[in-house]
Chain A
Amino acid sequence: MKDSPLHPLTWWIWSLVIAISVVRVNNTYFALGAITLVAFIVLQLRDDAPWGKSFNWTLKVALWILSIRTFIGISIGVPIPGNVIFTLPRIPVPTWMPGIRIGGEVTAERLSSALSEGVIICAIIVIFGAASSLTSPHRLLRVLPVYIYEFATAVVIATSVLPQLVSSVARIRQAQRLRGQKTKGFTSYRRLAIPLLEESLARSLDLASAMDARGYGTSRIRSRYRPINWRLRDSAIVASAIFVLVLS
């Protein structure tokens, strides 16, 4: 891997195709399978770079989204009849909102449909998280066409923000531990969020101005010092994803 890295777009295309098939199949087990596969690939292939470490966070975020999505799914919405598992206290809604209820009986069917929708959303997040942790954002920048350079700048900054966030989180937490603050619990997140947001904004601006100062986007055509080639390996990886898509 280290001597000749894959084309920076390979994993992004692969992820896109896999994500499409997950949506197309719309099956919980298929989505779970995709998550497992992706996680396995990332654990095998990621290197020590900062973006490599961001995958664990992607998983955490996905889990959060799943739990919030499921909670909202079972507590708000149109009731589905079936086996009642437990009952939530019901909050009355005005009469002009017929058919919608908040709280009330939670049936097994309701739970399973909320869960399976959540899992599919999570699968898509995890799949793209994997692509971002397998690809260096800097290399991605070099292959994106220049004529969309404003967009490309935004994409690169966005994709490099997540990995930077992860390394900043560790550093800021450490510093705050040194200030004798708790680093667990909800309030610690609030304390973390402010320096973190500011830092990632500042960094993004720095990066954008550095790119601008160095003439990025001034020429519509870009030359390549070391060409980034699309090789057989890249085709094989993309083909594997298309194969999954066709099967699905």
Chain B
Amino acid sequence: MIRFSNVSLVYPNSTTTVLEDLNIEIAEGELVLVIGPTGSGKSSLLRLINGLVPHHTGGILAGQITVDGISTREVKPGGLAHLIGIVGQNPLNGFVADRVEEELAFAMEAMNLPHDVMRKRMEEVLDLLSLTPLRSRLIATLSGGEQQRVAIASALVMHPKVLVLDEPTSALDPIAAEEVLSILHRLVHDLSLTIVIAEHKLERVIGFADRIVHINGAGETIIGSPEEVMKVSSISPPIVELARVLGLDNLPLTVRGMRRVVQGIRDSLPLSQIPKSIKKVNPVITVENLTVAYSDRSVLNSLNTTIHGGEIVALMGRNGAGKSTLLRSMAGISTISKGSVSVYSNNPATLEGKARREIIGFIPQEPSDLLYGQSVVQECDLADRDNQIPPGTTFAVLNQLVPGINLHAHPRDLSEGQRLGLALSIVFSANPKVLILDEPTRGLDYDAKKSLTKILIEFAAIFDRAVILATHDVELVAELSTRVIFLADGDIVADGPTLEVLLSSPAFAPQVSKVMSPQPWLTVGDVVSALEAGKI
């Protein structure tokens, strides 16, 4: 269906080749997963399929790419619209209509399909993605998961033979992600659709993939079955890491397969005790009866909670449950209807300038909002000057977070992980007493997540500081946080130590705990230390 023959790609004004001599043939009905570190060119590979690269971006392309026999050299992306549906990384930027129905109809109208065909396909696709209740809603008012579904639907409505998705689940909560992926799975199996998908959260998608293309960022690629690629890949989901640590020869990629293999290990030890959590004593953020309402809709319903120094609190919950609003109230940038928030006995809404930087560090969902310098080095210098710290300090932190960043690169040209790293090091440079992060791991690969985890844990432990983050990433929560607050429809429905909260909900359980239950282990590290303790 899709054939890349000897494809090489170089962007203008760039010295590195994104792809070098890539050869792959993707058959009909295959689900191919593209993996690689952030900024390695996964998106470029996907956009090559329908010719958006290089037609829209420029760059030198060598070799030949054909889709269903049509070369992307000869037709513009629009000419392939009936064949390829593409869902971008940020669906909101690609929406061309205001309402769900209009959005779905857009491509059909552009292709001048007759009215009765449109009606039929509209109903089909609305049902397929369970969008019927939303059909006349404004797209801007939908939650992230719903928007993602609309984006997929508007691609599917053309009955394409190929569907290309760029990180379709990175902004979704685990349940919405599962929903989207099971829809994709069904499309592959029922309609023999060919799907190419790029994703960082391998634990979510690897079970569905027929083949994996691993790009390392310097033009090299490894192509093979998930088992083959996982044996050599630098990027791997927790389940594979577990298998490696346990020294297993064949790598089961599903929870089911892994459970069978590790049954002996699981049963060899008596059920571990759940460690008692230490009570924290110094309250840092106090939230009392916090109510936030936007026009007619109530987002948070009189929440009460206290966050202590040294805690790393993960806020979890569905898209639109009020996580961001709670974070923003803590940072003092959301209008509070009732109740109060105090951070180190300050009202966060009144903090300004240096005082604000030293009390609250906030990383917004779009880290680039914080950046306005012309280059990385300029941003770092600004941060050093703002906080009156020795020149170079911010850059040193940055190098620890994301090593090998180009000093003179423009912040916009950085990969998502590098941009987050830059924003984070700027915020760290003021040494804030509380650190708030809104979905920090969107678009981050495992390595970047690991270094983020390490730095946040050190930050919380050494200075006894509080870290609060909203995230959908259960694996991150398992590795990082000490406490989980679970929000649903503006209410706190669960609040407790990470272990208790994650184990009590199967949908939010990390992979290792699914494999190892009933043992209360969340991460590969937990398993290793439990096994070592058992040997003695």
Contact = CB atoms under 8 A, between A and B. Distances in A.
A217 B112 CA distance: 10
Nearest to A208: B56
Nearest to B114: A223
A209 B56 contact: yes
A91 interface: no
B94 interface: yes
Interface of B: 50, 52, 55-56, 76-79, 81-82, 84, 86, 88, 90, 93-98, 101-102, 105-115, 118-119, 122, 138, 140, 154-155, 158, 331, 333, 352-357, 360, 362, 364, 366, 368-374, 386, 412, 426-427, 430
Given A207-B94, A210-B94, A223 B108 contact: yes
- Which 6 pairs between the two chains have the least Cβ-Cβ distance? A215-B81, A210-B94, A175-B369, A225-B105, A180-B357, A206-B93
Interface in A180-196: 180-182, 190-192, 194-195
Contacts of B386: 180
Contacts of B427: 179
A202 interface: yes
Interface of A: 49-50, 136, 138-139, 141-142, 146, 171-172, 174-182, 190-192, 194-195, 198-199, 202-203, 205-219, 221-226
Contacts of B94: 206-207, 209-210
Nearest to A51: B98
14 contacts: A142-B109, A174-B369, A175-B364, A178-B333, A180-B352, A180-B354, A180-B430, A202-B93, A206-B93, A207-B93, A210-B88, A213-B84, A214-B110, A218-B110
Given A138-B96, A178-B356, A207-B96, A191 B102 contact: no
A190 B382 CA distance: 14
A198 B56 CA distance: 17
A182 B77 contact: no
Nearest to A146: B110
A210 B115 CA distance: 23
A209 B52 contact: yes
B430 to A, nearest CB: 7
Given A138-B98, A178-B364, A223-B109, A212 B56 contact: yes
Nearest to A227: B115
A215 B77 CA distance: 7
Contacts of A182: 353
Nearest to A210: B94
Nearest to B79: A218
Nearest to B97: A138
Given A139-B98, A177-B333, A221-B112, A214 B106 contact: yes
B96 A217 contact: no
B356 A180 contact: yes
Given A138-B98, A214-B107, A215-B107, A179 B370 contact: yes
A222 B109 contact: yes
Contacts of B118: 223, 225
B128 to A, nearest CB: 17
Contacts of B154: 214
Contact of A211 (B50, B96, B426): B96
B15 to A, nearest CB: 23
A135 to B, nearest CB: 11
Nearest to A219: B112
Nearest to B103: A138
A218 B81 contact: yes
Nearest to A198: B412
A215 B78 contact: yes
Contacts of A223: 108-109, 112-115, 118
Nearest to B369: A175
Given A195-B369, A226-B105, A215 B364 contact: no
B43 to A, nearest CB: 12
Contact of B370 (A176, A192, A224, A225): A176
Nearest to A47: B138
B101 A225 contact: yes
Contacts of A202: 93, 412
Contact of B78 (A136, A180, A194, A216): A216
Given A223-B113, A225-B102, 4 more contacts: A213-B84, A214-B106, A216-B110, A226-B101
Contact of A225 (B79, B109, B366): B109
Nearest to A168: B369
A212 B77 contact: yes
Contact of A218 (B55, B78, B114, B364): B78
A208 B356 CA distance: 39
B366 A171 contact: yes
Given A142-B102, A216-B110, A224-B109, A50 B81 contact: no
B137 to A, nearest CB: 13
Contacts of B331: 178
A203 B118 CA distance: 28
Nearest to B89: A206
B52 to A, nearest CB: 5
A191 B372 CA distance: 6
A146 B86 CA distance: 22
Given A178-B362, A195-B368, A215-B107, A138 B112 contact: no
Nearest to B373: A194
A225 B426 contact: no
A26 B477 CA distance: 66
A219 B111 contact: yes
Nearest to B151: A210
B316 to A, nearest CB: 22
A170 B90 CA distance: 20
Contacts of B111: 215, 218-219
B370 A141 contact: no
A210 B84 CA distance: 12
Contacts of B90: 206
Nearest to B357: A180
A146 B106 CA distance: 13
Contacts of A176: 369-370, 372
Given A139-B98, A171-B369, A178-B333, A210 B113 contact: no
B372 A194 contact: yes
B354 A206 contact: no
Nearest to A217: B78
A210 B96 contact: yes
A191 B374 CA distance: 11
Given A195-B372, A217-B110, A225-B105, A212 B96 contact: no
A205 B364 CA distance: 23
B244 to A, nearest CB: 39
Contacts of B368: 195, 198-199
Contacts of A171: 364, 366, 369
B140 A50 contact: yes
Nearest to B430: A180
Contacts of B84: 213
Contacts of B95: 138, 210
Given A219-B111, A226-B105, A214 B96 contact: yes
Nearest to B367: A175
